[in-house]
Structure 1
């Protein structure tokens, strides 16, 4: 039997070191630390993440999977509930660092099973709702700033060119894997995932910087 720590690091504000240190302070020890970095928990399912797939291959009956919170497994209701149920069906025990919640398949009492499954569904739904609320708040903030001044908010300078964006979209359309596209274009996998998640937003961000460059050259 082994204990695994799984971390998903999707933004620059999150780090694997922080999640690992938090687990250790809570008294957890583990033989394996597995992390996906720069991966969306909304649009990229657990099985489609490079290290998430590896976790599916490694976990065995009797193993313990530790996560900071349910949202590290994902922020999509169907994906999170399917993942947890698959793991406990295998005999894996899942424990969260926050609130020290435990999910396992050992109980055979129907009432306890019902409570467990209801909690899984509630926490998975909460993770998705939080992600959607955060995205809506960000979009609202951007819209407000842009309505106040067309040039007030243009976001960070995109890490890709117009040509790279076109290449990524073309290769995604042909079904090429993200890792292969990253190598082909010289972009990071995180950048390719962002374009895959929201190609329209990527195009708008690039267009905003192109307009800014044009305005500067015209002065």
Structure 2
């Protein structure tokens, strides 16, 4: 059994360091070793998660996917969550989340009956927490949209400013030969952001 830790942050200002320390502390307390960390900056509402899929590709039956919170794994809609669950089931990967105590026993070996019972219970709890995470995501988006509409009505909305300095840094890194993955890790930008910036730069230079 190998333990693979997955850390996701959707914004550049979110730091995965604190979550990484908490996962290490959890593993140390239970005398288990984390074989690898997979870190990316992508939205939990999207299935476009290269590092998560790399983790699953490298996993073997019985391996553990360790996360800080269930919403780090999923803020997906029901259809996409079903796709991800199917992948986890096919790979026979067990999800252990620090905010889901019923999953903690899956990080250690035990008798087969206990493991099957905990797997069933954990699956049910994951479904519930994933649904709550999705509702929280939709609620926050709805409140943000309402706030923008109010600001527009009051003539106060100017839209979100582009971070020109960061964008120029990203383009410079890419021009210097850095890989997209390295640029994403260094800046917190998503791959879709890099794609958009490179397309705009190509049009301007044409």
TM-score bucket (shorter structure):
0.5 to 0.7
Report the equivalent of 1:91: 92
Mind listing any 5+ residue stretches in structure 2 that lack a counterpart?
A: 107-111, 165-179, 197-206
Stretch moving more, 135-144 or 117-126: 117-126
Higher relative contact order (CA 8 A, sep 6+): 2
* Offset of residue 113 of structure 1: 6.5
Q: Distance in 2 between matches of 1:90 and 1:107?
A: 20
Of 139, 142, 162, 2:145 maps to 139
Q: Distance in 1 between matches of 2:134 and 2:75?
A: 4
Scaled by the length of structure 2, the TM-score of the pair is: 0.65
Change (3 A) 1:114 1:74: closer
Change (3 A) 1:119 1:110: same
Mind listing any 5+ residue stretches in structure 1 that lack a counterpart?
A: 161-178, 183-187, 197-219
Of 131, 136, 146, 1:130 maps to 136
Alpha carbons 1:69, 1:97 under 8 Å: kept: yes
Report the equivalent of 2:101: 100
* Offset of residue 26 of structure 1: 3.1
* Offset of residue 53 of structure 1: 2.1
Q: Distance in 2 between matches of 1:25 and 1:110?
A: 26
| CA distances 1:180-218 after superposition (whole Å, capped 9, x unpaired) | xx9xxxxx852735998xxxxxxxxxxxxxxxxxxxxxx
Alpha carbons 1:3, 1:66 under 8 Å: kept: yes
- Tell me how large the CA RMSD over aligned residues is: 3.4
* Offset of residue 66 of structure 1: 0.4
Report the equivalent of 2:75: 75
Of 22, 40, 44, 2:43 maps to 40
* Offset of residue 159 of structure 1: 4.3
**Count of residues in correspondence between the two structures:** 165
Q: Distance in 2 between matches of 1:154 and 1:41?
A: 27
Q: 2:37 aligns to what SS in structure 1?
A: strand
Change (3 A) 1:127 1:156: same
| CA distances 1:63-94 after superposition (whole Å, capped 9, x unpaired) | 11101111111211333343244324433221
Q: Distance in 2 between matches of 1:116 and 1:2?
A: 19
Change (3 A) 1:78 1:108: farther
